[in-house]
A and B are shown apart, each in its own frame.
Chain A
């Protein structure tokens, strides 16, 4: 009786919603009229001209990707944390490549992030695909390859995407065989 009452009370607590209209402090301070497009253009120019030694930074992130893979391979982590130790360095590479003028790094890391967000657990096949991305990123950074639309850049992306597709197909076949 009391347990049921507690459950009902908890459900009521979750379902009851208070709506609050907070003061728009940001609007009060910013005022009206938005930003002049020329200001945003200048900010875009700032990004374009902002220089960082991404070769070194990117290499550190690729190293972190390798370290994450080693941790995941050692075992001892549950499935989701094992994926996350690889996923986060990959996400950093995706985020920072384009912002620091290496769009090809972003494209390759994006393929890896999408792959890691779809896999349910790590295994040797997953590690092989991560290793292929890691090698590609190392090659791109050490050869200062930046253009994702170059023939070389496109070939790298297509090869990695095809490796991911082969993995999905093999998992699908295994699932169908199991069902």
Chain B
């Protein structure tokens, strides 16, 4: 038993070729055979449509673009909007983390990272999938994980509405 990475396709998009090589190597050690890499958003989107990957690993900074806009385009895709996205960045302020989360990513991976931290993000996506929320101009995983226990489509606030103070 154990995860079988050999059957999954992973698309990695990062502006730095040296890091792409390193990530490819880590995923190969996990057993992944189909790893597609690119440095740019437009090429990444073309590969996304061509290969229909099972997982995206995307950096904040892309050649002439950003992982934020890449994620938003993917989340509005008609065929595969729910593909899991791990978002990498060395930026760490609360505002930037919130900005990344608001683009619709599944998991956040702080750079520099270890093989274990990358694996843990993949494991979290696999073992603790989230419902997706589609509202206004946002499509992405529901952030309110606690409300997903025995989720029946009703928000927790609707189940336990606070009474306004008199």
Chain A interface residues (CB < 8 Å from chain B): 13-27, 29-36, 39-40, 42-44, 46-47, 50, 52, 57, 87-88, 91-92, 94-100, 106, 109-110, 113-114, 117-118
30 CB < 8 A contacts A-B:
A14-B136, A18-B135, A19-B131, A19-B142, A19-B153, A22-B82, A25-B54, A26-B126, A30-B5, A33-B2, A34-B3, A36-B2, A39-B30, A40-B115, A42-B29, A44-B116, A47-B25, A47-B115, A50-B22, A52-B21, A87-B91, A88-B61, A91-B61, A92-B16, A92-B90, A96-B112, A99-B19, A106-B112, A110-B90, A113-B90
Q: Which residues in B have their C-beta under 8 angstroms from that of A94?
A: 90, 111-112
Question: Are B90 and A18 in contact, CB atoms less than 8 angstroms apart?
Answer: no
Which of under 10, 10 to 19, 20 to 34, or 35 or more describes the interface residues of B?
35 or more
Question: If the complex has contacts A18-B135, A22-B129, A94-B111, are A117 and B116 also in contact, measured as CB distance less than 8 A?
Answer: no
Chain B residues within CB distance 8 Å of chain A: 1-5, 7-8, 15-16, 18-19, 21-22, 25-26, 29-31, 54-55, 60-61, 82, 84, 88-93, 95-96, 111-116, 119, 122-123, 125-127, 129, 131-137, 142, 151, 153, 155
Cβ–Cβ contact B135 & A15, under 8 A: yes
Given A22-B129, A52-B18, residue A46 in contact with residue B25 (CB < 8 A): yes
A117, B60: Cα distance in complex, Å: 15
Beta-carbon nearest neighbor of B113 in chain A: A99
